[in-house]
Amino acid sequence: MTRTWSLAEQIYRSFHGWPIMLAFCLAGGLIGWLAASLWPATYRATADIDVALNPYRYYEDTNFQALLRPKYSNLDDYKSWQMSQLMAAIYRDEIIEETLRRLQSQDSAWQAVGSQELRSMLDTNWRTAGKWSLVAEHEHPELVEQAALTWREVVLDRMVPAIAASRQAIFTDEAVQALIQKQVDGEERLSRLQAAQAAIEQWQAELAGLPPDQPLDTTQRWPILALVTGLAEFSPDWTALLAAQPAEADSPGAYAAWLAQVSVALQSESSILRESLQELLSEQDRLKAQFDEQSKQSMALSPSIEIAALDQVSRATIRPQSLLALVGGILGFLIWLLLELVKIARWEKQVE
């Protein structure tokens, strides 16, 4: 009987012997897992912090919401944005460099380490607000704990004042906005006073041309009274001026004399108002400079963030056991596959 060779049949036979294939995979995985014990270990230290988001402060931050809606129109969007901001802040160059300076002052072993090497040692594990893990990994176990604890110390020393500065910046900005509104109101008041002064001068010139012994008619009297009463404020000087207004039967001279008193009051108030506006400008400049400094110190963090240290500090030895077991299993499978291919090739030759 003639023997025939079939590739499909040989493949079927090879994989039909799956227990042998599985044995190769398990043997390779076991060898990989054992090899991990000889692999140079990496040590990990984790220092935890608590990151909280105060929703009360979020809802209070109306200026933020007005500027950034609809992109951050709900608390979840706001939270994600703030967590990303904090994540970026703790990796800033100033944080890493300060951490390295403190480490170098603690242990001479850090003298040969640069900021980029330190940065590569550090990592952060977090999902959302709550517990954040500041992680350090290195080949030397005594260095990783120093790195994790010192990094946390620097982060807290810098983030806590930054958040406080952010909160102060809100009050400073509110004070600046209030001064700006006062300046607008003051400038508007000064403009009205200047317009009234020009109108009084026109009325005085008109009154000088009227018969001195005839009282003013209604079309002349009421515009004069309306001009002054429209400027009046609730102050003793204005109350006295309004009380001294001429009677309906008084002569044009009485109105001219009364307008002269009003003119003096307008000039006095205008002078005081100009000085006040100049002081407002100076105070605005001072507060704006203070706001700029607070904004710089805040590192763009929100006042709604609250951050504190947690006592948990964990240590672990990291070996790639799972990875090497997987690699070993794959290699075991490839060795089995290679042996099966050799067997198939030999079988083909025997049939020929």
Same domain, 149 and 17: yes
| Alpha-carbon Rg for the chain in angstroms | 42
The total domain count for the chain is 2
Q: Are 102 and 95 in contact (CB under 8 A)?
A: no
In a domain, residue 352? The reply is no
Same domain, 131 and 214: no
Same domain, 12 and 125: yes
Same domain, 187 and 69: no
Same domain, 291 and 190: yes
Q: Are 350 and 10 in contact (CB under 8 A)?
A: no
Confidence at residue 104, expressed as pLDDT on a 0 to 100 scale = 93
In a domain, residue 41? The reply is yes
Quote the tokens at residue 211.
């018969």
Same domain, 181 and 127: no
Which of 283, 298, 313 terminates a domain? The answer is 298
Quote the tokens at residue 124.
């952060």
Domain that includes residue 215, residue range: 174-298
The 10s digit of each residue's pLDDT in 138-197 is 888 788 889 999 999 999 999 999 999 988 988 898 899 999 999 999 999 999 999 999
Same domain, 306 and 240: no
The 10s digit of each residue's pLDDT in 299-347 is 888 888 889 998 877 887 766 667 667 887 888 778 877 877 777 666 6
Count of residues making up the chain = 352
Q: Which DSSP letter does residue 208 get?
A: H
Q: Check whether the bond before 70 is cis (ω within 30° of 0).
A: yes
Same domain, 49 and 147: yes
Measured distance CA(289)–CA(97) in Å, rounded: 27
- How crowded is residue 58: how many other Cβ atoms within 10 Å of its Cβ? 20
According to DSSP, the β-strands at 42-53 and 122-125 are unpaired
User: Can you count the helices (H) and strands (E) in the chain?
Assistant: 12, 4
Measured distance CA(99)–CA(152) in Å, rounded: 9
In a domain, residue 328? The reply is yes
In a domain, residue 23? The reply is yes
Of 21-25, 113-117, 156-160, the range with the lowest mean pLDDT is: 21-25
pTM exceeding the 0.85 threshold for the entire prediction = no
DSSP class per residue in 44-108: EEEEEEEEEE-HHHHHH-HHHHHHHTTTT-SHHHHHHHHHHHHHHHHTSHHHHHHHHHHHHHH-G
In a domain, residue 2? The reply is no
User: For residue 3, is pLDDT > 80?
Assistant: no
In a domain, residue 248? The reply is yes
Same domain, 18 and 135: yes
Same domain, 307 and 271: no
Same domain, 214 and 131: no
In a domain, residue 1? The reply is no
Confidence at residue 70, expressed as pLDDT on a 0 to 100 scale = 43
User: For residue 68, is pLDDT > 60?
Assistant: no
Same domain, 35 and 102: yes
In a domain, residue 264? The reply is yes
- Using CA atoms, how far residue 25 sits from 21, 29, 227, 325, 337, in Å, is 6, 6, 101, 10, 11
Quote the tokens at residue 39.
């692999």
The 10s digit of each residue's pLDDT in 191-249 is 999 999 999 999 999 988 888 888 888 888 899 899 889 888 888 888 888 889 888 88
Confidence at residue 161, expressed as pLDDT on a 0 to 100 scale = 92
User: For residue 112, is pLDDT > 90?
Assistant: no
Q: Which DSSP letter does residue 113 get?
A: -
Measured distance CA(336)–CA(346) in Å, rounded: 15
User: For residue 268, is pLDDT > 80?
Assistant: yes
